[in-house]
A and B are shown apart, each in its own frame.
Chain A
Amino acid sequence: MALSRDAYRALGDIVGPGYISEDPAVMDSYAYQWLAETVRPNHSKFMPRPEAALLPASTKEVQAIVRTCNKYKIKFKAYSTGWYFYGAPFSEGVIQMDMRRMDHIVEIDEKNMVAVIEPYVIAGVLQAEVMKRGLNCTVTGAGASCSTLVGATCYHGSGGTSIYTGELRENLLGAEWVMPNGEILRTGSVGSGCGWFCAEGPGPSMRGIVRGALGARGGLGVYTKCAVKLSPWPGPTEFPIEGTVPAYRSPLPKNFRAYTVAFKDWGSLFEAYYRLYDNEICYYAHRQWTMLGADLGPAFWMLYQDPTKSLDDIQEFVRKREVKELTEEMRRSFQLVLVGMSQRDIAYKEKVLDRILEETGGWKVKKWLEPEMEQFSLLYLLRLGRKNLNFVYTGGWVGNFMQSGTPDFVKKYEPIAEDATEEYQEKGLLVDCGSDSMMGCVGSIGGGGQCGLEQFGFYDVADKASTAAAVEWMKHCIQEEARRNIPPGKEGMYLAVGKTHAELQRDLAKQPLTHTWQRKIKQALDPNNLGDRMYPTLDEK
C-alpha cells in the first residue's frame, strides 16, 4: 500500500527531499528488527516494511508531519535508538519517523540538576556531558547507546543505578509531546512558561497521561523533548580508560568501590536486598554478571579479560580449576558500587556493607576484588556500554519473567524461572549456560523497595528451529507462571506483538478498566486511530 503521491509530496515538503525516502532497501533497514523472528510468519527477521521514512529536525516538523498524517489518514510511528522491536511498524501503511536528527542536549542546568534533551540523545552522550559538571544520569538497562528520552517517556526506565539516581519514570521533569491529533502538550512547569523543573500540574497532573508503569512505546504520538533529573557524580569529569579491547577498565578514585557479593542461597541474597534498602548505601546495585548464566558466565567474564581469547576458547576456561571455584563461589551473587561523597562517607558505607554481609552470611567474591577486575566492573556497570554482550553467545536472546515487586515476591518466582528454563537448556534448545541466567535491578526505583529478575534465554537467530524453541520456551514460561499464580512477564509483552486482534482483546479483558480508560484516552487524543497496539485498548462492546 504505497502512499499517495499527494501525501508523499506533502510529507516531503515538511522535511525536505533529503530527509524522506521510500526506497525499499532503506525501508527494509527499518523493518529489520531484533525479535521480529519470534512473532513474524516463518520466523522472518522483518517487521512490516514502512511506506516511507522521514527524518524530522524539529518539533515543528514533527507536528506538521502528524497533522499531514491526520489529513491523509496515514499511520505513523516514531523510532529513536530502538531496543526490542516495539518501535517498528506493526502493520502495512505506516510511515516511520526516524528521530536521529533531533539529537541535541538542549540545556544542562547544572545547579538544579536538570537536563533537557531531544529524542536521539543517547545515555552515553548525556552521561559524558553531565559528568563534566559533576553529575550523572540514569542509564537504563537498554544501555548507553539507547535514548534517554525514550526511557523516560516511552518505555520503562530502570537501570543499575536506579536505587540512587531514580528510575527515569521518576526522573521525568517535563515532556513536550506531539499528540496523535497534532496538538502539542508541554507538561508541568514548562507548559506555564516557567522552565523545565516540574512535570506535575498545574492542578491534576497530566504527566499521568504521558506515561504510566510503561510508556506508549511509539503508539500514541511523538515525544520531542523532555527534562530529566540528574544525580550527583563525585568522580572525575570523564571516565579514565585503561586496558585493551574488549575489557576496558576505569581506575576511578578511592571513593568508588565495586563489589560482587555472593550468598549461600537465594533467601540470604534477598535478605541482603532489604538490608541495603534500609541503609541507603548503594550507588549501583544490580544482578549483572549472571545474565550469561550462573554455570557459564564466570568462565565468559574471565575469558573476556584476555584480549587474545575468543568465545571459541570458553571450554578451556570452563575446565580451569579456578574458574570452577569462582563459578561455585558467585553462583548466588549480584554487583554493587558504593560511592562516597566524601572519604568519611565511603568509609561509613564500607562498614555498613560489611555488617550487612556479616548478618546475611554473604561475602565479597575475591576474584572481583582484584584491582583490574574492580576497574572493569566500575566501567561496565556505571557506563553500561557493552550491550552487545547480550547477544554474544548466539546472536539472539529474550528475557523472560522480570515481574517487578518486593524481594519477597520476586523470590517466589525465581525457582519457577529456573525450572521453566532447565529442560530447554538440557535439550540444547537454548544455550546451556545454567538455569539461573537471571539479571535485574536490586532496586528498580529510587530508594529501592522493588526489584526484578529477568531470565535470559539465548537462541540462534540464524536457526529457525532454535528460534522456534525460544518461542516455545516463552509460551512454556507463561503456562508455568499461570500454574503457580504468577503473572506473565516480559515474554508476554514480546508475544503480544504477534497476537491476533482477538487474542489480544482476550488478554486485555483481564484488566478491563485499565484498557477501557486507555481506549477513551486514545479516542480523545487519536481520533483518526493513527497509533498502534503498543498503546493497547479494549474494544467497545
Chain B
Amino acid sequence: MKVKTSAGLADIIGKQKVIDKAQVLDRYSRDNSFTPSMRPRLVVQPRNADDVQKIVMWANQTRTPLVPVSSGEPHFRGDTVPSVPEAVIVDLHRMNKIIRIDRRNRMVVIEPGVTYTQVQPALAEQGLRLSMPLLPRQSKSVLASLLEREPRLEPKYSYTLPEPLRCLEVVWGNGEIQRTGEAGGYYPTLEQQWKMGLAQVFSGGPGQVDYYRLVSGAQGSMGIATWASVKCEILPGVHRFFLIPSDDLKDLIECAYRLLRVRLGDEFLVLNSVNLAAILSREADGIRALRDKVAPWVLIMGIAGRDLFPEERVDFQEKDTRDIVQQFALKLLPAVSGVRGGQVMSTILNPSSVPYWKLAYKGGCQDIFFMTTLDKIPEFVNTVFAGANALQYPVSDIGTYLQPQHQGTSCHCEFNLPYDPGNKIEVGRVRELLQTCSEALIKQGAYFSRPYGIWADMVYNRDAANKEMIKTVKGIFDPNNVLNPGKLCF
C-alpha cells in the first residue's frame, strides 16, 4: 500500500523536513549523465540518525523507494536519479556536522553532508588534512566519495582500497541501525569509546563481516551512513610538486612502477595533456592552448615533509626520485611548458572551482572509468582512442586520468569525454561512444568495480556468482528493496 501524500512522513519527522515543491523535485529528477530522468515524489531532509531510521522504517511499512543523496549538485553518475516511480529522495546535506577531530589519533568523525570544502580548513587548524579524490566539486560529500570508492591521490597511504574510510554508523535497509568496525564493539556509544581512549580507528567487523564494505560501492542501495570516521594525514610542513613529462605513456608507466615500488611520492597521478590543461585552465580556449603546449603525458608527484625534519625528508626524497627518473631517460621537473608544480599543487589540493573542472571545456562530460593494473593501460588507451576515431569523436578532446591505488597494486583508469550538451549530434556521439567503448573495454579485461548506469548489466552478466551473492546479501539487509531500487542488480 503506497501513501500518495507526504502526510505520513511529515508526521514522523516534521513537516519542515519534507519538500514536495515541483521545482525542487525537478532538480532531483535528472543529472549530468545519460540516465533517464524520473521525478521523485518527495524530498526529505533528515537532521540526524534518528530521522533517517524513522524514514527507512516508514519506507518499509509503505514500500516506498528511497534514494539517498549526500552531495550537492551537479551529479554525474545517475545513482541519485530515481529508477522507479514514487521514490523519496533522502537528502542528507543538512547532516553536516564535524562530530570530532582527534589530532592525536589522526581521526575525524563526520556526518554525510560534510564536504571537502568544509572539512579541510577545520582539519588544517589541527594540523591535519584528508586525502582527496582529484578535484572534487565543492558540494561533494566526503562520506559519499569514500563510500563510492573514489580513488585518492596518494597511493602510498592506501593500505586498503576503501582507505581512509574506517568506521560507519549505518541505517540498513530494514531500519536496523549499526556501527561498524571498532565502533561496533564492546562500548556502545562514541562517548564511552572516546573516554576509554578509542578513536574508531579499526575498520574491520564487528565480528566476522566487514560491514562497511557492504555499504561501499552500493550507490545507497544497502544502507544509509549517518556518520563515518576517517583517517587523516598530518598537514605537510613542506610540500613540493614535480612534473615528469613524457611523449610515451609506456615509458612513464615503467618509471611509475619503479617509484611506486619504493613508495616515493605522496600525491602520485598521471594526466594526459588534455586533463592537465582542464584542471589548470578555466575556459575552452585556455584549455586548448595549454593542451597543445605540454607533453602528451605528465606524471604529477607531490613530496611532503610532515612531522620531524620535513625539509630534509622532502630533500632526500626529491634526490632519490630524481635518481630513479633519470634511469628512464625522463626528467623530474619543477615546471613544464609554463606549468609550475606549485600551480598544480594549489589546484589539486583543493576542491574544484566552479564550474566543475570537467564541465569547463564544453559544458558537459561523460566519464568512462574502471580499475586495472598499470601495465595494461596503454592497451585500454588504444581501445578508447580507436573507438573515438570510429565515431569521429576528436581524440584530442579526450582527457585521461590514471590513479595508482592500494600502494600500486591496481590503478584507476578514467577517460573524460567532454561534449556540448546543446549539440544533439555530439551528445549522440558521446552516448554511443560510452556504450561501445565500455563493451570493448570490459571484453578486454577492464574491471568496472563501480558499475554505474549501463555498466551494471555488462558487469553482472559476466559475474553471475557475485551477482547472486550481492542479491542474497541485499535480501538480508534490505529485504523490501526500499533503498535505491533499480540500481546495480536490484
Question: A interface vs B, CB < 8 Å?
Answer: 109, 111-114, 134, 166-167, 169-170, 173, 183-189, 191-195, 197-209, 211-216, 220, 229, 231-232, 234, 274-275, 277-280, 341-342, 344-345, 347-348, 351-352, 355-356, 404-406, 408-409, 411-412, 445-447, 449-450, 485, 487, 511, 513-515, 517-518, 520-521, 524-525, 535-536
Contact = CB atoms under 8 A, between A and B. Distances in A.
Given A185-B465, A200-B217, A409-B198, A351 B309 contact: yes
B320 A205 contact: no
Contacts of B262: 232, 234, 341-342
Nearest to A341: B262
A232 B261 CA distance: 6
A194 B372 contact: yes
B410 A192 contact: no
Contacts of A203: 217-219, 449-451, 456, 459, 470, 488-489
B105 A406 contact: yes
B307 A169 contact: no
Contacts of B312: 348, 351
B476 A517 contact: yes
A535 to B, nearest CB: 6
B207 A515 contact: yes
B199 interface: yes
Contact of B201 (A185, A449, A536): A449
Given A201-B451, A405-B197, 16 more contacts: A111-B374, A194-B447, A202-B447, A202-B459, A213-B210, A214-B204, A275-B307, A277-B106, A278-B234, A344-B320, A345-B316, A351-B309, A355-B308, A355-B309, A404-B202, A487-B185
Contacts of B320: 341-342, 344-345
A409 B192 CA distance: 12
B466 A216 contact: no
B463 interface: yes
Given A112-B410, A447-B157, A204 B473 contact: yes
B205 A213 contact: yes
Interface stretch (B138-146, B158-166, B342-350): B158-166
A303 B284 CA distance: 75
Interface of B: 104-106, 149, 157, 159-162, 176, 178, 181-182, 184-186, 196-199, 201-202, 204-219, 221-222, 231, 234, 257, 261-264, 306-309, 312-313, 316-317, 319-320, 323, 371-375, 406-410, 445-451, 456, 459-460, 462-463, 465-466, 468-470, 472-477, 488-489
A213 B207 contact: yes
Contact of A212 (B209, B451, B459, B463): B209
B270 to A, nearest CB: 16
A186 B104 CA distance: 39
A202 B264 CA distance: 30
A213 B204 contact: yes
Contacts of A274: 104
Contacts of B201: 405-406, 445, 449-450
B106 A449 contact: yes
A156 to B, nearest CB: 9
A214 B198 contact: no
Contacts of A511: 184, 206-207
A427 B488 CA distance: 63
Contact of B409 (A167, A214, A229): A229
B210 A344 contact: no
A198 B208 contact: no
A30 to B, nearest CB: 24
Nearest to A344: B316
14 contacts: A111-B257, A113-B261, A184-B465, A188-B447, A192-B447, A198-B406, A202-B448, A204-B222, A209-B473, A229-B406, A279-B306, A344-B320, A518-B207, A521-B209
B207 A514 contact: yes
A200 B162 contact: yes
Q: In this complex, which of B185, B204, B372 has the most chain A Cβ atoms within 10 angstroms of its Cβ? A: B204
A212 B208 contact: yes
B337 to A, nearest CB: 30
Contacts of A341: 262-264, 320
Contacts of A279: 306-308
Contacts, number: 286
Q: In this complex, which of B209, B214, B217, B472 has the most chain A Cβ atoms within 10 angstroms of its Cβ? A: B209
B406 A212 contact: no
A447 B158 CA distance: 9
B316 A348 contact: yes
Given A112-B373, A352-B308, A518-B209, A187 B447 contact: no
Contacts of B204: 169, 212-214
Nearest to B176: A513
Contacts of B264: 341
B206 A212 contact: yes
A197 B199 CA distance: 30
A409 B466 contact: no
B148 to A, nearest CB: 10
A277 B308 CA distance: 12
A270 B186 CA distance: 22
Given A206-B470, A406-B201, A520 B214 contact: no
B214 A201 contact: no
Contacts of B462: 192-193
Q: In this complex, which of B211, B262, B372, B449 has the most chain A Cβ atoms within 10 angstroms of its Cβ? A: B449
A214 B373 CA distance: 29
Nearest to B222: A204
B161 A198 contact: yes
B476 A520 contact: yes
The 6 closest A-B pairs by CB, nearest first: A446-B159, A213-B205, A208-B213, A408-B197, A213-B204, A201-B449
B466 A206 contact: yes
A96 to B, nearest CB: 21
Given A184-B465, A201-B450, A202-B460, A207 B210 contact: yes
A187 to B, nearest CB: 7
A195 B445 contact: yes
A487 B213 contact: no
Given A169-B204, A202-B449, A517 B209 contact: yes
A236 B468 CA distance: 46
B212 A208 contact: yes
Nearest to B479: A520
B447 A198 contact: yes
Contacts of A112: 373-375, 408-410
Contacts of B207: 212-214, 511, 514-515, 517-518, 536
Contacts of A211: 208-210
Contacts of B408: 112-113
Contacts of B206: 212-213, 511, 514
B218 A208 contact: no
Contacts of A535: 208
B407 A229 contact: yes
B445 A194 contact: yes
A113 B406 CA distance: 10
Q: In this complex, which of A200, A201, A450, A525 has the most chain B Cβ atoms within 10 angstroms of its Cβ? A: A201
Given A183-B465, A204-B222, A521 B476 contact: yes
B457 to A, nearest CB: 11
A200 B215 CA distance: 11
B214 A205 contact: yes
B197 A406 contact: yes
Given A114-B409, A344-B316, A204 B215 contact: yes
A195 B211 CA distance: 25
Contacts of A202: 217, 447-451, 459-460, 463, 466
Contacts of B371: 189, 194, 197-198
Contact of B231 (A184, A209, A449): A449
Contacts of B477: 517
A355 to B, nearest CB: 5
A202 B312 CA distance: 42
